[in-house]
């Protein structure tokens, strides 16, 4: 087999076929995101988040940046199957919060979700923890400053999941000194050099770091 067959598009396409059938509402959310170029984690990473939440029997999840509720839906599905709990949805935008609520009502998961119309890290600071999972998908330049607050609020044995850690390939460009790219680099350095974390980067979609807090 030629190594040139192992391309990014081929790999991402193949692993997408491995995601089990999902609810029609989730697929409608995916179609909307695709049509409007709205960033969501997509079915592969959504199912991965669901799997991780099931594996650690997560009952409390805090999302830093939730968009219109796609990742929230996956976490809520896991939390319900784990026996119930709460998923915290956080966005600045009232329209996104309302849209998320509508989707989650249709999915039968809205009773598990607490909505925060706020800057995400500020909402985390004000919400009692500790949490089983914290999902981080805020502006990339703000990633480094968020880590101390995440570490404080996550329980020992909990998981931190961080999206966009390959940052559309920009991390491989030494000339890219944009605040977002530098934020991804700095966050990656911080968490991988901190002995309190066990860290891996999964190169699915735009890259997800999963970090276990010792």
Span 136-148, pLDDT tens digits:
999 999 999 999 9
Span 36-68, pLDDT tens digits:
999 999 999 999 999 999 999 999 999 999 999
| DSSP state letters, the chain | --GGG--HHHHHHHHHHTSPP--HHHHHHHHHHHHHT----HHHHHHHHHHHHHHTT--EEEEE--TTSHHHHHHHHHHHHTT--EEEEEES-HHHHHHHHHHHHHHT-GGGEEEEES-HHHHHHHS---EEEEEE-S-GGGHHHHHHHHHHHEEEEEEEEE--SSGGGGGG-TT---HHHHHHHHHHHHHHT-TTEEEEEE-STT-EEEEEE-
Closest by alpha carbon to 209, among 167, 162, 174, 168? 162
Q: Say which residue, 72 or 2, is predicted with more confidence.
A: 72
Residue 177 pLDDT > 70 = yes
Residue 87 pLDDT > 80 = yes
pTM: 0.94
**pLDDT given at position 4:** 79
Q: Which two tokens stand for residue 65?
A: 């940046």
pLDDT level of residue 3 (50, 70, 90 thresholds): low
Span 157-168, pLDDT tens digits:
999 999 999 999
Instruction: Name the CATH topology of 3-213.
Output: Rossmann fold (3.40.50)
**pLDDT given at position 140:** 94
Domain edges within the chain = 3-213
Task: Give me the long-range contacts of 92-98 (CB less than 8 A, separation at least 24).
Answer: 92/117, 92/118, 92/119, 96/66, 96/67, 96/68
Span 96-106, pLDDT tens digits:
999 999 999 99
């Amino acid at each position: 087999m030629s190594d040139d067959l192992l391309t990014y598009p081929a790999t991402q396409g193949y692993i997408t076929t491995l995601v089990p059938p999902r609810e029609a509402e989730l697929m409608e959310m995916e179609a909307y995101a695709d049509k409007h170029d709205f960033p969501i984690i997509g079915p592969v990473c959504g199912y991965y988040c669901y799997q991780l939440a099931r594996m650690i029997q997560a009952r409390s999840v805090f999302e830093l940046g939730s968009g219109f509720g796609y990742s929230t839906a996956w976490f809520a599905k896991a939390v319900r199957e784990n026996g119930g709990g709460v998923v915290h949805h956080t966005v600045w935008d009232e329209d996104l919060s309302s849209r998320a609520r509508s989707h989650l009502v249709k999915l039968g998961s809205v009773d598990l979700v607490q909505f925060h119309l706020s800057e995400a890290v500020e909402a985390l600071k004000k919400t009692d923890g500790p949490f089983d999972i914290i999902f981080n998908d805020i502006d990339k330049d703000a990633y480094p400053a968020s880590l101390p607050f995440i570490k404080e609020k996550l329980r020992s044995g909990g998981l931190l999941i961080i999206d966009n850690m390959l940052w559309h390939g920009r991390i491989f460009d030494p000339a890219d000194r944009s605040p977002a790219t530098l934020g991804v680099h700095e966050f990656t350095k911080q968490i991988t050099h901190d002995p309190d974390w066990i860290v891996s980067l999964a190169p699915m979609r735009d890259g997800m770091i999963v970090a276990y807090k010792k």
